[in-house]
Chains A and B, each alone.
Chain A
Amino acid sequence: GENVEQHPSTLSVQEGDSAVIKCTYSDSASNYFPWYKQELGKGPQLIIDIRSNVGEKKDQRIAVTLNKTAKHFSLHITETQPEDSAVYFCAATLKGYSSASKIIFGSGTRLSIRP
């Protein structure tokens, strides 16, 4: 089955700098890679996703890249702000859900933005 590894587990950056979180997956059949942001006391919120037919996707200060050959994908946050402080989870799954294609989550990265 799919296995997703996420690094680093904690990340502290200066406000205004960039943050990068990296994930690797094991199942080459996975074709959908969402990223979730979980703020304290809240449920995970989908912030961006990418499908295997594209290599990069950007939404304002957030971008995700995917390297299918190496089976890794990354989240990039530029011009970080205090409200970016949260736990971020990467995930991998197959498009077109079936009982065999659960979403598998990474272990999470706790991002702290220093003022």
Chain B
Amino acid sequence: SAVISQKPSRDICQRGTSLTIQCQVDSQVTMMFWYRQQPGQSLTLIATANQGSEATYESGFVIDKFPISRPNLTFSTLTVSNMSPEDSSIYLCSVVEELAKNIQYFGAGTRLSVL
């Protein structure tokens, strides 16, 4: 399976600031996704990162708050903008290598605390 690297692994930020999280994959993948996992909760899909075009956001998530880029088939970024304490979560990148199999692999996540 693809090796997924996320940076940073954790961060503590002040409210009102923004943080950009990077996801790098060691091979070209078909699909890339961003999830949020609030403390003690399940995984919630934020958006699908589309290569060369705007991301597809899930209900409750908007581009102004979570801008996403995917310039190529191995790299994506998620920005958490104008942060508040409610944004304190784990943010996870995941990938699907082959559409036909639809198996998702996850990065280790970015643990974000907003003060």
| A interface with B by C-beta (< 8 Å) | 32, 34, 36, 41-46, 49, 89, 93-97, 99, 101-103, 105-108
How long is the Cα–Cα vector from A41 to B111 in the complex, in angstroms?
Answer: 9
Q: List 23 A-B contacts (CB under 8 A).
A: A32-B102, A34-B103, A34-B104, A43-B4, A43-B109, A44-B106, A45-B106, A46-B1, A46-B103, A89-B42, A94-B102, A96-B99, A96-B100, A97-B30, A97-B99, A99-B48, A102-B45, A103-B45, A105-B42, A105-B43, A106-B42, A107-B41, A107-B42
Q: B residues within 8 A CB of A36?
A: 106
Asked whether any CB of chain A lies closer than 8 Å to the CB of B68, the reply is no
Question: Nearest A residue to B30 by beta-carbon distance?
Answer: A97
* Nearest 7 CB-CB pairings of A with B: A43-B106, A97-B102, A43-B108, A43-B109, A44-B106, A105-B43, A105-B42
User: B interface, how many residues as a size bin?
Assistant: 20 to 34
Tell which of B43, B45, B102 touches A89, judged by Cβ atoms closer than 8 Å.
B43
Asked whether any CB of chain A lies closer than 8 Å to the CB of B22, the reply is no
| B interface with A by C-beta (< 8 Å) | 1, 4, 6, 30-31, 41-43, 45, 48, 56, 92, 96, 99-109, 111
If A43-B92, A44-B92 touch, whether A95 touches B108 (CB-CB below 8 Å) is no
A93 touching B102, Cβ below 8 Å: yes
Tell which of B30, B42, B101, B108 touches A42, judged by Cβ atoms closer than 8 Å.
B108
How long is the Cα–Cα vector from A96 to B101 in the complex, in angstroms?
Answer: 6
